[in-house]
A and B are shown apart, each in its own frame.
Chain A
Amino acid sequence: MSTLNQNLPMHKLLYRVFMHDIRVALRRQSDVVAVFFFFIIATSLFPLGTGVDQKLLMAMAPSVLWVMALLSCMLSLPRMFSNDYANGALEQIVLSNQPTILLILMKIFAHWVLSGLPLVLIAPVIGLQFNLNTDALIVLAESLMIGTLALSLIGSIGAALTLGLRGAGILIAILVLPLYIPVLVFGAGAVGAIAIGMSSNGAFSLLGAVLAIALVVAPVATTFAIKIALE
């Protein structure tokens, strides 16, 4: 991987690792697009299952949108490190004399841009289908903005632990979904609170706290797990 030229200044190196992942994903767009459409299709199934009772849909919307966002993020987790693991680039990242944690963090961040950010942009449109009001739509986008980043961070641990395993996809689901619960509770809680006219500040603060903890713990655990996988 040419991006790991050791003489580059730090910020350029990090930028290159980040752009490398974005470029690879843009050249193989089907992966990114498929997760995006999964989110749209899966959320559209709920009204078909429950009927078109507007009140019911509105009450369900925060949890439906958030659970589906959770699953969409999870679906894209296996590809976070798997290509680089297969072609040896991950080994180069670990062996380079640069701080591994920061390089891994860049990869997690790239994953978020590719899988979390599209959901943030499309979710308000889906929210309209569920009859959410403008305030709730804004809070939905904001909470997804913070929450999906936390999801990418927490999920990276699962992705790293299951590197190169058979049936990694379903295994990641079992490992990561229980750890996603706080994000779901606070994210859907923020939207649910605003939808019934309450303040969502508390939920936002807690969502931010979860993100802060994930930002500290996840890269360390992920880097460690990658080293274990490469042993």
Chain B
Amino acid sequence: MQINWLKYASPKTFYPLAGKLIPWFSVGAVLLIAYGLYLGLFIAPTDFQQGEGYRIIFVHVPAAWFSMFLYLLMAAYAAIGLILNAKLSHMMAKAIAPTGAMFTLAALVTGSFWGKPMWGAWWVWDARLTSELILLFLYIGYFSLQSAIDDRNRADKASAVLAIVGAVNVPIIYFSVKWWNTLHQGASVSLTKAPAMAAVMLQGMLIMALGFWCYSIAVILMRVRCEISEREHMRILIEQ
């Protein structure tokens, strides 16, 4: 049987598919996040060094993963949109950005909640924190450019170029900040020397990550549907 992979590349056919998928991922997100929080808050043992305060990592670490993963995903969709001139790809990229920025902000805020009791400061100029902050700036740049251009076609393409340039820059920024950090701070707080993690902690974190994944998919699909109906609602109305 020949599968037509490109069938759902058209906004018209993707719109109902997204509508069908959203409830599944929403339910999945609620269940997984609830189970992950239960594991993290009640089952996982108290850390012998950090006490109860460490439990914020069940939100913090998956949020940080997704802040970076979603940026790369956004850049990938932007690239596909530019190369294949696919409208839906641009819409996906645009829909991913707010969720990615939200996770970046969540990672920063939960990170400072963790830092206050552990390091005694809300903010430390650590390489990871700083590059997370810069990632937030990159997201903000993407939004600003999207909203500054009135012509939709140009807004899509221009912000796609920015997303790709940003993605090229992310590793360079990370290493520059890391290098800067070692120069300026010497032996500062190291996140890499975390104590070996209990299996249940890792499990809780992975389940939270899966839950965040489902949440991202559900929210992004909702946003894409809004975008499609905004851009093509005349066409959809006529054809239905």
Contact = CB atoms under 8 A, between A and B. Distances in A.
A39 to B, nearest CB: 23
B188 interface: no
Contact of B148 (A166, A177, A186): A166
Interface of A: 157, 161-162, 165-167, 171, 174-175, 177-179, 181-182, 185-186, 189, 192-193, 206, 210, 213, 217, 221, 224-225, 228-229, 231
Interface residues of B, number: 27
Contact of A175 (B134, B141, B176, B183): B141
10 contacts: A157-B161, A162-B145, A162-B148, A166-B148, A181-B176, A186-B176, A186-B179, A210-B176, A228-B161, A229-B154
Contact of B149 (A165, A177, A189, A206): A165
Contact of A178 (B134, B145, B157, B164): B134
Contact of B141 (A178, A186, A224, A231): A178
Contacts of A165: 148-149
B162 A185 contact: no
Interface string B154-182: 10011001101110110011001101100
Contact of A192 (B144, B149, B154, B183): B183
A186 B137 CA distance: 20
A161 B162 contact: yes
Question: 8 smallest A-B Cβ distances: which pairs?
Answer: A182-B176, A178-B137, A185-B176, A185-B180, A228-B157, A175-B141, A161-B158, A174-B144
A193 B148 contact: no
Given A185-B179, A228-B154, A228-B161, A210 B141 contact: no
B75 to A, nearest CB: 13
Nearest to B156: A228
A161 B138 contact: no
A21 to B, nearest CB: 23
A178 B161 CA distance: 15
Contacts of B168: 213, 217
B30 interface: no
Given A175-B141, A182-B172, 8 more contacts: A157-B162, A165-B148, A182-B176, A186-B179, A221-B161, A224-B161, A228-B157, A229-B154
B228 to A, nearest CB: 22
Contacts of B165: 157, 179, 217, 221
B172 A177 contact: no
A207 to B, nearest CB: 10
A221 B147 CA distance: 20
Nearest to A230: B154
A213 B176 CA distance: 14
A181 B134 contact: yes
B24 to A, nearest CB: 36
A213 B180 CA distance: 19
A181 B173 contact: yes
A231 B154 contact: yes
B13 interface: no
Nearest to A176: B141
B140 interface: yes
B90 to A, nearest CB: 12
